[in-house]
A and B are shown apart, each in its own frame.
Chain A
Amino acid sequence: MTLARTQPLQVALPTEVTEVRFDDAMEKRIRQILGRYPTQRAAVLPVLWMCQELWGWVSPGIMTAVAERLELAPAFVEGVVTFYTMYQTEPPGKYLLQVCTTLSCQLCGTSALVEHLEERLGIGFGQTTPDGRFTLLDVQCLGACGEGPVVQVNSDYYTELTIEKLDQLLDELP
């Protein structure tokens, strides 16, 4: 049975996001987001999500554009981006392997999976494989503890993992 259902991230090169302009389609989405809140500032998180969805990460150029559009100080936006763990401030690999390392998953054998991943990929937490395919991240409780061990690959949860299933998953990813 096929395990993998995740598509690779579209990641912009740093040179492509040094300066960023919102085109009409993006502007339309921003206006739609703004319509949900009485203040411009409240649109920061959803607009940052939109940017990360489009470019794969949040560069200083993107933060500047968001700050200008929402009339905020760029330093403020960077403070928000760095507070939350899910906004990537460096170009990630095509697949973010986010391994839950909190208690419930650990009780079900996460450390063996981590060892295997480190060996197979040749990287540790916080690093990306040289071919730019996988970024390995350790994350905190993903909220699926009854089905542990859990790894979130990009947006998708993969649960009740074993070393075999992990290998299958990594082999199948496009």
Chain B
Amino acid sequence: MVTVTIDGHEVQIAEGTNIVEAALKAGIEVPTYCYHPGLSVVGQCRICFVEIEDQPRLVTACSTPVAEGMSVLTASERVNEARAAVMEFLLENHPLDCPVCDQAGECYLQDYSFEHGLDTTHMVDERRTFPGFERRLIGPHVVQNQNRCIQCTRCIRFTEEISGTGDLTMKSRGNHSYIDTFNGEPYDNPWSACAADVCPVGALTVKEFRFRARVWHLEETPSVCPGCSIGCNVDLGHFKGVVYRFVPRHNAEINGWWMCDYGRFLAESLNARDIEQPARTGDQGAAEMSWSEAIDEITRLLSSDSEVQVVASPNLPNEALFLAKKVFADHLGVRVLTPVYRGENRRMKNGQRQWIANVDSHPNSTGARLIGLPIGDQDALTTMLGSSTGPLVVLDNHAHPWLQTEAAAEMLKGRPVIALGRTHTPLSRQASVLLPLASWAETDGTYTSSTGRVQLAQRGLFPKAGAKPASEALLLLAARLGLEIDPGLSPRALFEELAAEVPAFAGMTYRRLAGEPGVPALGLEEVAHVG
């Protein structure tokens, strides 16, 4: 560790750290474009100039390591002059697109121009443009506007160093340099939209988000991706009850600064809702009922003589699964199975550039295991279902792909089915009791990733219509069934009960989970860590 002084503030930092990071530690932001903590250093945008006392020339902060006793000035007159000049050069050819550019509000060019640039321009000539490259869909998710590009090469370095796909390159040279793929082929890799994340301006933007919302309207709630077992950290961007996007949230252990396209574009599907109120289906179609009526009906069905079975879901948070065990396995003594679907192979690079692979396509199969719920594959599920004609509780009609098929509905015809869901499947249309399930974005919950980390996904929206999270529904049922449990427990309090009972979660609280990036579950070997 060395001690350096940044604008008079003393900072202790590891030797060899660059000045940008050292300044951040002192709470000072040095403007950067080409620098990204997850990518290699190129030092080419020239905006991060700082002055080191007793050195004649300004240096670029991103490419200069600190040394013991170094004294850095990030806002001296020379530095401000140089920065303003570089800003002017950057804005010289940059189009005045702010009113129509998605990046506005989270654009480095806007921000630093406001802070460090001149308030006028000396440029009166024509800006250089790239005809045909103003709104080019270069891949399934990324739109390019080459006129806005400041040639920082972050996107290229992302495809070379992180995704390893090498699909973006710089062509030509000088002021006519432009980003493109080989021979105009589509820019298509599993993490393609990350290039739009790293782009500091609106040169690369996400198609699905294009013109949908202004970022300063969006609330960003820290959450976790529900797409698979890796558990990448995300920010949920939402406004007035509508989910607009996921963007990756930094987590050094799991996903670095990245996320995959599949997970990212699940965001909008969280808005869909067919099932709004509790209902019973009959010959006359669905008849709505109140929650207390629904709970009464469920209680009645569960008191049947035939064997009751429960299908839990590895998509549900620890809180719901904990309750499911308590209510069904412990109290009622009935069979609970959590079906797990392996699904597609997905990979993510973390902050140390290690690959992490998924084990299945659910966010919480590991949670189910730790809580003590049996898990099984599709065969185990169909075998169990075939062994009884009694009432069936399905805690999530999308728990497993097979469960969503016509064949599943066919097999379960005639059985009283109690289903929770958000959008219909053939099975939910024939449910005896149908309960509206809150979406991922409407649920406070913790999830255990296959890398053994317990993470908190915060609720961003109030549940729509009559929807409730599964844990709330189960609390109502538990109270009705006579369990000694407060039906008004919040997810936070519920989790504390869980942490007290399940050894793997000992010592964890929501506060701790919100503060630390993924707390390791105890006694769990890390799985699925690919070198």
- In contact, B167 and A79 (Cβ under 8 angstroms): no
Give the contact stretch, choosing among B4-12, B170-178, B381-389, B404-412: B170-178
From B173, B180, B181, contact of A83 by CB (8 A): B173
Contacting residues, chain B, for A78 (C-beta < 8 A): 169, 171, 180, 182-183
Q: How far is the CA of A60 from the CA of B160 in the complex (A)?
A: 20
Contacts of B167 in A (CB 8 A): 73, 75
CB contacts under 8 Å to A, within B135-173, are 159-160, 165-173
Residues of A within 8 A of B (CB): 60, 63-64, 72-79, 82-83
Q: Which chain B residues lie closer than 8 Å to A76 at the CB level?
A: 166, 169
CB-defined contacts of B172 to chain A, threshold 8 Å:
82-83
Decide if A75 touches B182 in the complex (CB within 8 Å): yes
- The chain A residue with its CB closest to the CB of B166 is A73
Q: Are A74 and B183 in contact (CB under 8 A)?
A: yes
Whether the pair B183, A79 counts as a contact (CB closer than 8 A) is no
CA distance A38 to B159 in the complex (A): 25
What is the bound-complex CA distance between A83 and B178, given in angstroms? Answer: 11
Name the distance in Å between A74's Cβ and chain B's nearest Cβ.
4
Which residues of chain A are within 8 angstroms of B169 by Cβ–Cβ distance? 73, 75-76, 78-79
Q: For the complex, give the distance between the alpha carbons of A79 and B183 in Å.
A: 10
Given contacts A74-B182, A75-B159, A83-B171, 4 further A-B contacts (CB under 8 A): A73-B160, A75-B182, A78-B180, A79-B171
Q: Which chain B residues border A72 with CB–CB below 8 Å?
A: 166
- Contact B171 A73, beta carbon cutoff 8 Å: no
List, in ascending order, chain A residues with CB within 8 A of B173's CB: 82-83
Distance between Cα atoms of A79 and B182 in the complex (Å) = 8
Bound-state Cα–Cα, A78 to B180, Å? 10
Query: How far apart sit A75 and B183, CA to CA, in the bound complex (Å)?
Result: 8
Q: CB-CB < 8 A to A82: which residues of B?
A: 171-173
Report yes or no: A60 in contact with B171, Cβ–Cβ below 8 A: no
Considering only residues 249-277 of chain B, those with a C-beta below 8 Å from chain A are none
Enumerate 18 A-B pairs (CB-CB under 8 Å) in ascending A order: A60-B182, A60-B183, A63-B182, A73-B160, A73-B165, A73-B167, A74-B183, A75-B166, A75-B167, A75-B180, A75-B181, A76-B166, A77-B182, A78-B171, A78-B182, A79-B169, A82-B171, A83-B173
Contact with A along B271-290 (1 / 0, CB 8 A): 00000000000000000000
Residue of A nearest to B183 (CB): A60
For residue B159, which residues in chain A have a CB less than 8 angstroms away from its CB?
A: 75
- B160 contact set on A, CB distance < 8 A: 73
- CB interface residues, B 170-205, toward A, < 8 Å: 170-173, 180-183
Which B-chain residue is minimally distant from A80 (CB atoms)? B169
- Give B177 Cβ to nearest chain A Cβ, in Å: 9
What CA separation (Å) do A107 and B289 show in the bound complex? 93
User: Min CB distance, B159 to chain A, in Å?
Assistant: 8
- By Cβ-Cβ distance, the 7 closest A-B pairs, closest first, are A73-B166, A79-B169, A75-B169, A75-B182, A74-B182, A82-B171, A60-B183
Closest B residue to A81 by beta carbon equals B171
Write the chain B residue with the least CB distance to A82.
Answer: B171
CA distance A64 to B173 in the complex (A): 21
Task: Report Cα–Cα, A72/B166, bound state, in Å.
Answer: 9
Quote the shortest CB–CB distance from A100 to chain B (angstroms).
19
By a CB distance below 8 angstroms, the chain A residues around B171 are 78-79, 82-83
Indicate the member of A64, A73, A75 with the most B CB atoms within 10 Å: A75
Chain A: CB-nearest residue to B184: A60
| A-contact bits for B497-521, CB 8 A (1 contact / 0 none) | 0000000000000000000000000
- B170's contact among A60, A73, A74, A79, by CB below 8 Å, is which? A79
Chain A residues with CB under 8 Å of B182's CB are: 60, 63-64, 73-75, 77-78
Q: Among A60, A63, A64, A75, which residue has its beta carbon within 8 angstroms of that of B168?
A: A75
Q: CA separation between A78 and B168, bound complex, in Å?
A: 10
Residues of A within 8 A of B165 (CB): 73
From B187, which residue of chain A is reached at the shortest CB distance?
Answer: A75
Instruction: Please report the C-alpha to C-alpha distance between residue A73 and residue B182 in the assembled complex, in whole angstroms.
Output: 9
In the complex, which residue of chain B has the Cβ closest to the Cβ of A74?
B182
Minimal beta-carbon separation of B199 from chain A (angstroms) = 17
Contacts of A75 in B (CB 8 A): 159, 166-169, 180-182
**Residue numbers in B under 8 Å from A73 (CB-CB):** 160, 165-167, 169, 182
Considering the complex, give the chain B residue whose CB is closest to the CB of A79: B169
A83→B168 CA distance, assembly (Å): 15
